[in-house]
Chain A
Amino acid sequence: MNSLLNYAIPGVPYGCEFALMAVGLVLTYRATGVFNLAFGAQAFLSAFVYDLVQRSDGMPQWVALVVSVGLLAPALGLVLDRLLYRRIPQASTTAKVVVSIGVLIAIPELVPMVFSATTRTRLGHLWLPSGRVYVHLAQTPVTGAVISTVVISVGVVAVLAAMLRWSGFGLRMRAVVESRRMAQLEGIASTRVAATAWVLSSVLAGLAGVLLLPQMGSLDPTQPLEFTALLVAGMTAAAAAGLTSLPGAFVAGVAIGVLETVVQQELPSGSVVAQGLIPALPFVLLVGALLVNPRLRTLGRDTDPLASVDPPPPQPAVTTRDARLALPMRWGFRLLVVAFLVSSLTWVSDTWVFPFGQGLAFSVIFLSITLVTGMGGQLSLCQATFAGIGAFTTGQLAAHFGLPVLLGALAGAALAAAVGAGVALVVARVSGLLLTLVTLAFALFADSVLFQFSWSGGGLAGVTVPRPQLGPVSFAGDRAFLLLAFVVLVACAGIVVAVQRGATGRMLAALRGSPAGAAAVGIDPARARVTIFALSGAMAGVGGALYGSIQGPVSPADFQYVVSLAFVLVVVTTGSRTVEGAVQAGMAYAVIAQALTYVPTRFSGIELILFAAGALTYAAHPEGIVEYQRSVWLERANGLLRAHDRYRQERGGKVGRSRHGDGGYGGRHGAVPGAPAAAEVVGRG
């Protein structure tokens, strides 16, 4: 018993930080429907500023606290509410999560542009000196860090609970939580409640960040990601509390913190399993909670009884294009592709051939996002992990068994497919937000455990994936490799299009459009998800192998969870529903990165900030902004053609046959033969 307490007490401060996060997450989720993945980044920002202020000579702690948690955090909350979330109250949970990923990715890129990027050690603490021992509890020394963390977090949460229980704001808040629409009808300004929730949650984030400081060895501007990884336990706690109960979230947070420490102490120290277990535990717990508590499966669905009065969320634009545009566009596209290939094989300089090849590899990986997110309607945050599985398998098989790279890539794809299917299968009945969280937790699990062995991620040296060789033909040169990557991409794109047009694509479109309707015609949603995750895993695996092969050595850092997040941002910016979207994303991702090698490194974060900003528009344009712009241009072209027709008619000349479906009924060809071919619908998923 005593020894258990010995282990448990050091876990309590972690638990309190998880609890603060869980409470903050539940608060904004209930008030605004946003599951705020950027919470860790917010925590980091306050911690960073707290340490900065506290470091200046003669600044007392309380000044630092006021600046970082009292001013900065609420201001950040207000900004997030005003600029982002208030504009998308009706967007789907997925779209809101994507927006929060944008914030999560943008903050660590912005910080080094504003502050100097030096690493700081001997970090500040709040209230009691963290190392000093104050009392002994069951013979365990209790340090200042433990006392301050526990007292402050319990106090803050108690004040919050009292406020929600007894104040007028609490009453309004509870009304909004019950039914945002009803509250609106009753004249409660739900936007004001939402803003308050953001401020409160942001303050909790700031506090959690400052309290985490003593536990971090050092601090540098890239650390929001580390904060986020640490605080995934808080997300698990929030999910375990069903995203509803604040006390439940708090208790779950503390419990997870304690459990983590106890488990860690029980394991032999130094082993990969022991080191990896802490970040991985939330994944295990989340999956366990799902298996034990079936009620969690519906997490994230809108339970508002008045949800049906909302206008439907924005549909992807269905644009009809005049049949006369189809031919020039098709040939224009082919010409572009040929021009690209010929140029890259001939006059383009070596500096650019390499990123072009990378772009093609990324495009293949991004097609896996088209499959799972664009078609499957599920946001997966572990696509880079699948790519990593493909790359490492190829490299290891080549190194240890001399397997040709192309065969190895197939093996890697098969393994990634199996893992993808496995992830979907373990949580077969789960979709939406919870599935997204499971994929995120799985990515962290892979980062900290799966890829940490020398037989998988290759340890510090990484894994070298050789360039392929096909009989006498070697693809060692960048130009030859580019050609190979192009062929692979075309094959993968062909697969995606076939699936999209075929029965599987229709089935997935049905599931996206109406889960209830899909079940009513006999579609098994779990099976559909497993299928699409497997296919998507395979495609990411192939893409990963390609990427590995062009890079040479790859390490687990290349496929970290944050890379998955960045991938998602890039693809939703250009368009997650079409092959073109994925290819544009892949090329842009590689080419912009190359272009930014010409600016000072301090600004190399611009690329991700760009895409983060792009993703912020995802809620308004789920088809992607590039795709949206395309539809705008198509509309213009259609309009011009129509004006031209009218002009010809007025001139009394030969009446041009009006060949476009301006009566609303346009046909489309492609999927279903026999449709009238007057106009075709483009830009559908």
Chain B
Amino acid sequence: MGDPAPGGGAGSDERTTAGRGAAVAGEPLLAVVDVSVAFGGVQALAGVSLAVAAGEAVGLVGPNGAGKTTLFECISGRLRPDNGRVRFAGSDLAGVPAHRRSRLGIARTFQRVEVFPELTPVEHVLVAARARQGGAMLWRDLVRRGTPRPDEVEQARAIVGMVGLAEAADVPVAALGLGHTRLVELARALASSPRLLLADEPSSGLDTTETSVIATLLRRIQRERGVAVLLVEHDLALVRRAVDRVVVLDSGHVIADGSFGQVVADPAVRRAYLGRSA
């Protein structure tokens, strides 16, 4: 799989270079600063800070209800934090709606899959690639009578092939199993040539072979495409394979941050996990 072509037109390249240029030297790609979120009486996030450098793979683990998904929602713009800031590539994301964040280079997958049932995997990628270029152009559909450009289709097929869905490339996603839909979400995320991928439990509900595919894929996405990955995962074996650094969240607090080995040995982490199940 060669260079997976970060997108068609010159416009997209412009965006990427402009975005990269805006990054302040020394500042991480993603900086979450002191973010808090409360749902009624539940303090889901209590002053969480973490940073992800460009091209880095970071794991985010923690017991159920720790606030991992809530943090993702704050980063991707579906939720507005009560307090704190989210900075991406050197600029503050406050007030930037979810779809604009995606165009800035933040892609994500969902814990409960959010695919488009009527569309095929290739169409998922086409939609995402077009959206990044600023959305569908009505007149273009009318002139071309609805057919996508051959180069667009080719690129889409390449991405679908990369995640291993070549066989199911033209099947409406409604007809696919959970394992495949998780791969579709990954393909769709890649289609927007992101700089940061937020993956929320990509292995939940999958068997071991499927999990292993996902682990390899995440590593390849990071290594070959230089995409920073923030991975939420309960499967620690997968975390160990896919990331360089692990952040542990418990009841809305960051309780550990370090290499996989360090974190697993940390007594506070052990307490957080065992205290729950004991």
Stretch touching chain B among A92-100, A456-464, A634-642, A674-682 = A674-682
- Chain B binding surface SS class: helix
B171 and chain A: residue at smallest CB distance = A665
B99: Cβ under 8 A from any A Cβ: yes
Cross-chain contact of B120 among A500, A514, A672 (Cβ < 8 A)? A672
Given the complex, which residues of A lie within 8 Å of B97, measured CB to CB?
A: 519, 524
**Min distance, Cβ B121 to any Cβ of chain A, angstroms:** 10
Interface segment among B84-92, B146-154, B224-232, B256-264: the answer is: B146-154
Identify which of residues 661-677 in chain A touch chain B, using a CB-to-CB cut-off of 8 Å.
Answer: 664-668, 671-676
Residue ID in chain B nearest A497 by CB atoms: B146
Check A167 for interface membership: any CB of B closer than 8 A.
no
Which residues of chain B have C-beta atoms less than 8 A from A318's C-beta?
Answer: 118, 172, 174-175
Residues on A with C-beta less than 8 A from B171 are: 664-667
Q: Is A512 an interface residue (CB 8 A)?
A: yes
Q: Check B150 against A507 for contact (C-beta < 8 Å).
A: no
A451 to chain B, nearest CB (A): 29
Determine, out of A42-50, A75-83, A525-533, the stretch whose residues face the partner at the interface: A525-533
Separation of A320 and B227 alpha carbons in the complex (Å): 38
Interface status of A138 (Cβ within 8 A of chain B) = no
Within 8 A of A (CB), among B158-214: 167-172, 174-175, 185, 188-189, 191-192
Given A521-B191, A524-B135: A509 touches B126 (CB 8 Å cut-off): no
**Contact across chains for B141 and A676 when beta carbons are under 8 A apart:** no
Contact B115 A513 (CB under 8 A): yes
Contacting pair A504 B127 (CB below 8 A) = no
Decide: A673 and B76 in contact? CB cutoff 8 A: no
B118 & A684 in contact (Cβ 8 Å cutoff): yes
In the complex, the answer to whether B119 meets A509 with C-beta atoms within 8 Å is: yes
Quick one: CB contact mask for B110-127 with A, threshold 8 Å, 1 for yes?
Answer: 101011111110111011
Given A506-B127, A520-B114, A673-B153, A513 contacting B175 (CB threshold 8 A): no
A503/B120 in contact, CB under 8 A: no
A507-B135, A521-B127 given as contacts; is B118 within 8 A of A512 (CB)?
yes
Would A513 and B119 count as touching, CB distance under 8 A? yes
Task: Judge whether A519 and B142 touch: CB under 8 Å.
Answer: no
The interface residues of chain A lying within 8 Å CB-to-CB of B241 are none
- In the bound assembly, the distance between CA atoms of A512 and B119 in angstroms comes to 11
Chain A residue numbers with a CB within 8 Å of B108 are: 520
Is B102 in the interface zone, CB < 8 Å from A? yes
Q: Counting CB contacts under 8 A, is A510 at the interface?
A: yes
What residues of B have a CB within 8 angstroms of the CB of A420 in the complex? none
CA distance A518 to B110 in the complex (A): 12
Across the interface, which residues of A come within 8 angstroms of B147, CB to CB?
Answer: 501-502, 671, 673
B45 within 8 A of A: no
Contact of B138 among A517, A519, A531, A681 (CB under 8 A): A531
Residue in B115, B136, B169, B189 whose CB lies within 8 Å of A506 = B136
Q: Is B128 an interface residue (CB 8 A)?
A: yes
Identify which of B98, B112, B169 contacts A520 (C-beta below 8 A). B98
Assess whether B128 is in contact with A521, with CB atoms less than 8 Å apart: yes
Expressed in whole angstroms, the Cα–Cα distance for A316 and B119 within the complex equals: 12
Are A516 and B153 also in contact (CB < 8 A) when A510-B127, A522-B192, A527-B135 are? no
Closest CB-CB distance, B19 to chain A, in whole Å? 14
Interface flags for B207-251 (1: CB within 8 Å of A; 0: not) read: 000000000000000000000000000000000000000000000
Q: Please indicate the chain A residues that have their CB under 8 angstroms from the CB of B123 in the complex.
A: 506, 509, 671-672
B122 to chain A, nearest CB (A): 6
Chain A residues near B (Cβ < 8 Å): 308, 315-316, 318, 494-495, 497-507, 509-510, 512-514, 516-525, 527-528, 531, 535, 664-668, 671-676, 681, 684-685
28 contacting pairs across A/B (C-beta < 8 A): A316-B118, A318-B118, A499-B146, A503-B130, A503-B141, A504-B137, A506-B126, A507-B136, A512-B118, A517-B116, A519-B78, A519-B102, A520-B110, A521-B102, A521-B107, A521-B127, A521-B131, A521-B132, A521-B188, A521-B189, A523-B127, A528-B136, A535-B138, A665-B171, A675-B169, A675-B170, A676-B170, A685-B118
Chain B interface residues toward A at CB < 8 A: 76-78, 97-100, 102-103, 107-108, 110, 112, 114-120, 122-124, 126-128, 130-132, 135-138, 140-142, 144-148, 150, 153, 157, 167-172, 174-175, 185, 188-189, 191-192
6 other contacts beyond A316-B118, A520-B102, A523-B99, with CB at 8 A cut-off?
A: A497-B145, A498-B141, A505-B146, A519-B102, A522-B128, A673-B153
8 tightest Cβ-Cβ pairs between the two chains A and B: A502-B141, A501-B146, A513-B116, A517-B114, A502-B146, A522-B102, A503-B136, A521-B128
